[in-house]
Amino acid sequence: MSISVGDKLPNASVSYLDRNNRLRSVTISAIAKGKKLVVLGASVPFAPKCSQFIERAEETKFKNVDIVACVAMNDVFVMRAWGEHLRLSLGDKLMMLSDGHGELSRALGLSVDFSNSSDIGASLGLGNRSRRYCLVALNGVVRSVRADDSDEFTSENVVNSFDSV
């Protein structure tokens, strides 16, 4: 992980579909400007562990948070469908963002290549993906960041790390 507490968010581009199904591109630093932003990185949308991570994180309701951005290295259509499938109740606070080319994940140092690994990721044809992570930024400055280093990664231990931010 190359991003650390105190660092500014990169100007990495992400995309999403707006309410009228128009493709929009924006930088993560622009989203965070003047806001308290929580970024939830996911490796595989619709996969049980990633879905459970997002659902459990959503249950916390993110007190005092302006925007919750769920990001994965998938296209905007997958991200929209995954958000609809999860039936998340964060309303206007939630953005389902596509990091399709992995620009954000690489800039944060949170990408992983499963294509040459001997684990199940290679068998599933996953290739380059984002790690699961939770990042909190205030006005574009990272206040907290935790990445998945094991199967013990849960939203509770991540959320507890930024409750006081």
Write down the domain spans for the chain. 13-159
At residue 64's C-alpha, the angle toward residues 5 and 44, to 5°, is 65
pLDDT score, position 30: 96
Q: Which tens digits make up the pLDDT trace of 113-147?
A: 767 655 555 455 566 778 888 899 999 999 989 88
**Residue position matching structure tokens 């924006």:** 26
pLDDT score, position 151: 47
pLDDT score, position 164: 41
Query: What's the whole-model pTM score?
Result: 0.82
Residue 150 vs residue 106, higher pLDDT: 106
Percent of the chain with pLDDT over 90: 38
pLDDT score, position 24: 95
The angle that helices 48-59 and 76-86 make with each other, rounded to 10 degrees, is 60
State which fold the 13-159 domain adopts.
Glutaredoxin (3.40.30)
pLDDT score, position 118: 54
pLDDT mean across residues, the chain: 80
At 62, which helix (H) or strand (E)?
none
pLDDT classification of 165: cutoffs 50, 70, 90: very low
42, exposed or middle or buried, with CB in 10 Å at 0-12, 13-18, 19+?
buried
Are the beta carbons of 127 and 116 closer than 8 angstroms?
no
pLDDT classification of 155: cutoffs 50, 70, 90: very low
Tokens, residue 136: 């909190």
The catalytic site residues sit at 50
Best-predicted range by mean pLDDT among 5-9, 16-20, 85-89? 5-9
Measured CA distances, 149 to 1, 39, 139, 152, 158 (Å): 11, 17, 27, 8, 12
pLDDT score, position 149: 61
